[in-house]
Structure 1
Amino acid sequence: MRQPRLPNKTLQAGRTLLRPAVYWLEDRLSVQAAGLGDEHWIALERHVLDNPPAARATCLPDEDSDWRLHPVSDLTGIIRLDQARVLFLPNRVSQNAGFPGHRAAVFNRHARRVSYPHTPNILGRKLRAAAHGQSYTRGHPPKHLRGRVALLGNATSDTSNYYHFLIDSIGDFLFLQQTLPTELQPDRLLLSHAAQPWQYEILDLLGIERDRIIGFHEHRQIVAEELLVPVRDKGGTRLTPGLCDRIRDAMPPPSDLPHFGRALYITRSDSPRRPVQNEAAVRELVQQHGFEVHALSGMPVAEQIGRFAAADIVVATHGAGLTNLIWCEPGTTVIELLPNRHRVPCFQRICQERGLNYQLLPCPQPGTERGLTAAMDVPLPALAAALQRHWTP
């Protein structure tokens, strides 16, 4: 007799209870990065890139807010492996959104998974695939790469996010460039990207030849003659100290800036995520105070850098385009319109690093849709008061 199927909620609850046990087992079967030994683990001081002036500590804003935070990693260093295998795991959510989202799992020459902060768990995926008679690698023999290869980013599967591309992936490249001697620099770069024009603009600004780049989505698995994996704080809740200055030094604003506006309002009208329901009223208010209104989609990266470098005040809804705050001059005022159910402090941290005058303006997100995507309302009286306090045209 055919057994009745369990309800979806029951299955989901079972998976939720089982997941910690699977993670625990996988950690026991994996080799920890710091346990690889001196030959394969280059330990570094956590603040190896830390060089911001002490005065910037006075720019700590609104530390009592309900920020979404993760613990600071106690590991900073570089994994260095011979004959390492890298398995690229597709992300169904990313693929359904129209871009190739992948994460990478690293295995040493003995086929043991290497565990370090931000590495994805794979055992649960393998068990689910096996239960359906599937395999990630069947029919996909590994591509063998000669020379020294660096695995960059890998903190998220969002391959078309401006913040994660710059802070996680390019940040890893600069991390290696800063900490390793010339003879240990990578020949090729494994990079999570979506072939966006702005991504190639950034690579060109950094002088990275495109034939050095291998996308995560190009292979199911590779074996690298020598693999480098940077290990440091990444993602939206932690920022490696000094990184903003390193990115700015590597991609400086033009010395002869055009006559850009001094007051910027960055709109999210070009994004389906977190739309501003009273966008028209917000635009009218900021334009009354002499603000230029810009959507950043399609704007060349060099122009974005120039506009932020020339600004005296920036008002913007929370979004990846605010990564350009890296190029603002110290003392620039930033008013972030922050959705109250998506309190990620990435841009607050950039302001702290760059010595910017930061103010948070919480914006309600009505409804039950998750905070990452839900629409938001900007409180106009609070915004008007902030403009009155911080800006004189």
Structure 2
Amino acid sequence: MPLEYYSKTKEWISKCGFNDYYKVIYPRQTLTLPAPKGLDPPRWSQKCHFDEAFVATIPNGRLMTSCSYPVTPDNKRLLDVEYNCPYTETTLPAHEYYAKTVASVLWGWNLPHLNFDKQSSTQNVYGHWFFDILPRFHLLERRGIPIDYYVIGKLHYPFQYESLKTLNIPMDKLIEVSKPDFHIQARMLVVPAVPFNLGKCPPWTSEYIGNGFKLNRKIHKKMEYERIYVSREDASARFVINEEEVMQLLTKKGFKKIVTSPMTMEEKVDIFSSARVVIAPFGSANINVAFCEPGATFIELAPNTINDNYFWKISCHANVDYYELLCDVEQPPKAHSGVDNIVVDLAKLERYLQMIKI
């Protein structure tokens, strides 16, 4: 395992002197997005900075470990396209050589050897899959280099297979990684930028995901889903403690409760494209707001122990009106704030409904 690294891929480009190994696909940009609406003061700046999205080509580059760290020919890691994970291994077996062009779309924690939970991989988290993994295929498409193989983590869920099929990603070109001592070298390694590292949900990711799933098939509108509440009743964390009372209020207002995890991608796209108002607790399912039509409204039930603007950005990029409703959490709080369960103030929720004229 190399300990030396370049903080930015551009540093390696500057050292090796081959500028054609680095192609900017989307330039750096700064956007001022609409402030969150609601009764609570905004918790983040409206000004969002996004670094340039690039694709790097590395002759005789290597990929190491199940997280697939890209390594340059001078044996240094590239920190801006990896997610540093707690590996105990310091040595790896000799690499397997591919006399081909290999692209890596794997990013994040991919640590199946630490436990047997499928969530030990970033790409098995619904939100990260759609906004940090799949958009890397888009950057590769824009770069235009013919790819022989794509390195990706082990696939587990229907949404992964369904989305790859929808986006016309050839399954026979996937190299699925699960073993911790993964180690290959490619004649040409192609590494696209990581959306999360560029500023979390750059606008081009939303356009790619939204258009990719809405334009590739006929949308079937469902009038009964114009007002939906997205439940996390099947989740192990961040579910609404008083959901029964919440639904008693929302049912009177014409809302329909849905649970997204058992649904196919086509069902999710149809339902969220039909929705005019979406209410949901903070969680990965909220990336489906990217499929809403412009002018829809999204009220996010946000635990006050988490400050995350991810779904606000997605809403803004989709031209969806975003409201943040801050909620208390179940007491005592969890050891990790990211898993706190939510308690919704019903009077406050009713005021939000009045604000959107419901």
**The residue matched to 1:234 in structure 2 has which SS?**
helix
Q: Is this contact kept in 1: 2:301–2:344, CA < 8 A? A: yes
1:152 maps to what in 2? 105
Task: Establish whether residue 34 from structure 1 lines up as the match of residue 19 from structure 2.
Answer: no
For structure 1, which runs of at least 5 residues remain unmatched after alignment? Answer: 1-24, 90-102
Distance 2:332 2:69 in 1: 37
**The residue matched to 1:284 in structure 2 has which SS?**
helix
Distance 1:314 1:150 in 2: 37
Q: Is this contact kept in 1: 2:51–2:199, CA < 8 A? A: no
TM-score (normalizing by structure 1): 0.76
2:169 maps to what in 1? 208
2:187 maps to what in 1? 225
For structure 2, which runs of at least 5 residues remain unmatched after alignment? Answer: 110-120
In structure 2, the CA distance between the partners of 1:248 and 1:81, relative to structure 1 (3 Å rule), is same
The structure that has the greater radius of gyration is 1
**Alignment partner for residue 55 of structure 2, among 53, 65, 78?**
78
Distance 1:368 1:248 in 2: 35
Task: Establish whether residue 381 from structure 1 lines up as the match of residue 358 from structure 2.
Answer: no
**Alignment partner for residue 200 of structure 2, among 238, 243, 249?**
238
Q: Is this contact kept in 1: 2:28–2:51, CA < 8 A? A: no
Task: Establish whether residue 61 from structure 1 lines up as the match of residue 26 from structure 2.
Answer: no
Distance 1:116 1:371 in 2: 27
Q: What's the RMSD between the two structures over aligned residues?
A: 3.0
In structure 2, the CA distance between the partners of 1:236 and 1:176, relative to structure 1 (3 Å rule), is closer
Q: Deviations over 1:3-39 (max 9, x none)?
A: xxxxxxxxxxxxxxxxxxxxxx956x54741122314
Tell me by how many angstroms 1:185 deviates. 3.3
In structure 2, the CA distance between the partners of 1:189 and 1:320, relative to structure 1 (3 Å rule), is same
2:112 maps to what in 1? none
Query: What does 1:1-393 align with in structure 2 at a 5 Å threshold?
Result: 26=3, 29-30=5-6, 32-35=8-11, 36=13, 37=17, 38-47=19-28, 59-61=34-36, 65-67=42-44, 72=49, 74-89=51-66, 103-110=67-74, 112-121=75-84, 125=87, 129=88, 135-137=90-92, 140-156=93-109, 157-178=121-142, 180-181=143-144, 184-217=145-178, 220-234=182-196, 238-252=200-214, 254-260=217-223, 261-365=225-329, 366-369=331-334, 370-392=336-358
Q: Which runs of 4+ in 1 moved over 6 A?
A: none
Distance 1:231 1:281 in 2: 44
**The residue matched to 1:59 in structure 2 has which SS?**
coil
Q: Is this contact kept in 1: 2:54–2:139, CA < 8 A? A: no
Tell me by how many angstroms 1:68 deviates. 10
Q: Deviations over 1:37-80 (max 9, x none)?
A: 314322455259x9xxx9xx6633269633599x9564532221
Q: Is this contact kept in 1: 2:50–2:202, CA < 8 A? A: no
In structure 2, the CA distance between the partners of 1:58 and 1:88, relative to structure 1 (3 Å rule), is closer
User: More strand by proportion, 1 or 2?
Assistant: 2
Distance 1:388 1:32 in 2: 48
**The residue matched to 2:59 in structure 1 has which SS?**
strand
